[in-house]
A and B are shown apart, each in its own frame.
Chain A
Amino acid sequence: MKKILILGAGTAGTMMANHLQHELDKKLWEIEIIDEKVEHHYQPGYLFLPFDIYTPEDIIKTIEEFIPKGVSLRKGKIDKIDPMANQVKMVDGTSIAYDVLIIATGAKIAPEETAGMRGSEWQKSVFDFYTFEGALALRNKLREWDGGNMVVHITEMPIKCPVAPLEFAFLADSFFKNKKMREKVKITFVTPLSGAFTKPKATEALDHLLQEKNINIESDFAIESVDNERKMIIDYGGREIPFDLLVTVPTNKGDELMERSNMGDDLNYVPTNKATLQSLNYNNVFVIGDASNVPASKAGSVAHFEAEILTENILRFIKNEPLKEDFDGHANCFIETGGGKALLIDFNYTHEPVEGTFPFPGVGPLRLLKESRMNHMGKLAFRWIYWNMLLKGTHIPFVSAQMQEAGKQY
């Protein structure tokens, strides 16, 4: 009996467990998946929690209910990987041998990377919304906050779901309007990038929306520290931005287990072939989702497209066939813009997001890079799709793993 071991039962690991359970011959292969947690969180919901749009119950289920029969789920913290010995060591001392390893341990925030960020004001006037605890604390704060300077801030790239901070700023604008207190709040969006986003056409559209919603933007800001006493963020050039309420996205990093295993880069991401998803250093190790260093968005939709291609490549690998170089960096993200509308962007390694229609060229019904109510319905539907299709590895009709160029205005 041979063994496929999956590290991490979040979005990507769960999808792989479901795909492989369907595809592998159970007389020859056993599949095991490991996670230290009991709960599976719908992380995109962290964006809505602070504004009382979703409740905690909307976004939390158990890991177990998404792991198919026939795949064994082990609970526990992974200490390290010994790729030369094809073994994984658990913190409790157990060793697990594998024939094929899939790394899906994701990424998380590391506020300790910035001086003063996790200081005396943490969860008093300095918040994150990239963790459940952070989003919940921020919700409680926003329920009673009476206004002032709100600064929405990105520490450094790459981060998970790079549009989420912008969406947060847009939703904050709507939230304060609904509470009839918009004029009491100054919203400033602070980014290390030169504009609202990384790709030119989308940046143009988003910069315009920021303006329309009266949100100031401070770009090219590389934070050095948070001054808790004076309530300022300060960049390496000495630029200071005052806040009454700082909503920051701290540095994102892969899990420390990569550092302990000597398998990560300077942010603990695993060097990975961007077309095949095989580790660059070990043939029988594959990487999917936020844990890899491929230059694609760290998003659930990306993990979904990767999972279809990685499943095929693992089947090829165990049959000794050459891997398919099929992953093109395809990402597909809804961007909430507030007021019950959203944008949709679709892009890959080489093609930036542009205007057009999706998924049917020329028909839609969704429109790319344009605000619409239909797109907002799409974003809300995404939660249902996530729990009921994405995690189970069900193919989403009409949306292919590789990006489609038809119907787009390049």
Chain B
Amino acid sequence: MEKEIAGKKINVNEEGYLIDFNQWDQSIGEAIAKENNVDMTPRHWEVVKYLQGEHKNNVPLSIRKIGKSNVIDIKEFYALFPQGPLKISTKIAGIPKPASCL
């Protein structure tokens, strides 16, 4: 479905995740962050860029992997994106919600 984010019409799924990463830019990320009560700082963007890079390389994302990434530890990840950091950070990054596989 279509949703207006930062003044643009963006394709998102039922849960609000971007369907097409090409529609993403920083202002979109900023707006989604605001909706989720996250104030973006340079450190937040660093993490978001890292997630986008991993997604581009088809690396499946999990809290465990991110904790071992040397980019950020789990504690800080929670501090930056409280309550479900992986869910929220991937939404801001414009990439799919990681499948917590069965």
Contacts and interface: CB of A to CB of B under 8 A. Distances in A.
Q: Do A and B form a real pair?
A: yes
B102 A331 contact: yes
B74 A222 contact: yes
Contacts of B21: none
A297 B102 contact: yes
Nearest to A157: B100
A236 B101 contact: no
B10 interface: no
Nearest to A199: B102
Contacts of B56: none
B63 A198 contact: no
Contacts of B78: 222, 235-238
Contact of B101 (A157, A220, A237, A266): A157
Contacts of A296: 101-102
B75 A266 contact: no
A222 B102 contact: no
B83 interface: yes
A295 B83 contact: no
A119 B29 CA distance: 42
A235 B84 CA distance: 11
B84 A220 contact: yes
A224 interface: yes
B43 interface: no
A224 B101 contact: no
A237 B63 contact: no
A338 interface: no
B100 A192 contact: yes
Contacts of A267: 64
Contacts of A198: 99-102
B102 to A, nearest CB: 4
Contacts of B79: 237
Interface residues of A, number: 22
Contacts of B102: 157-158, 162, 198-199, 295-297, 331
A232 to B, nearest CB: 17
B17 interface: no
A236 B99 contact: no
Nearest to A159: B102
Contact of B83 (A162, A220, A266): A220
A71 interface: no
A173 B64 CA distance: 32
A240 interface: no
A266 B84 contact: no
B99 A237 contact: no
A336 to B, nearest CB: 18
Given A222-B74, A236-B77, A266-B65, A295 B87 contact: no
A237 B83 contact: yes
Interface string B65-102: 10010000011011100111001000000000001111
Nearest to B73: A236
Given A194-B87, A222-B63, A266-B68, A295 B77 contact: no
A206 to B, nearest CB: 14
A266 B64 contact: yes
A382 to B, nearest CB: 18
A237 B82 contact: yes
A200 to B, nearest CB: 8
Of A237, A295, A296, A297, most buried by chain B (CB within 10 Å of CB) is A237
Contacts of B74: 222, 224, 236
A39 interface: no
A139 B55 CA distance: 44
A79 interface: no
Nearest to B74: A236
A156 B101 contact: no
A257 interface: no
B89 to A, nearest CB: 13
Contacts of A403: none
A215 interface: no
A166 B99 CA distance: 19
Contacts of A220: 83-84, 87
Those 5 A-B pairs whose CB atoms lie nearest each other, nearest first: A295-B101, A236-B78, A220-B84, A237-B78, A297-B102
Interface of B: 62-65, 68, 74-75, 77-79, 82-84, 87, 99-102
29 contacts: A157-B101, A158-B101, A158-B102, A192-B100, A193-B100, A194-B87, A198-B99, A198-B100, A199-B102, A220-B83, A220-B84, A222-B63, A222-B74, A224-B74, A224-B75, A236-B74, A236-B75, A236-B78, A237-B79, A237-B82, A266-B64, A266-B65, A266-B68, A267-B64, A295-B99, A295-B101, A295-B102, A296-B101, A296-B102
Interface of A: 156-158, 162, 192-194, 198-199, 220, 222, 224, 235-238, 266-267, 295-297, 331
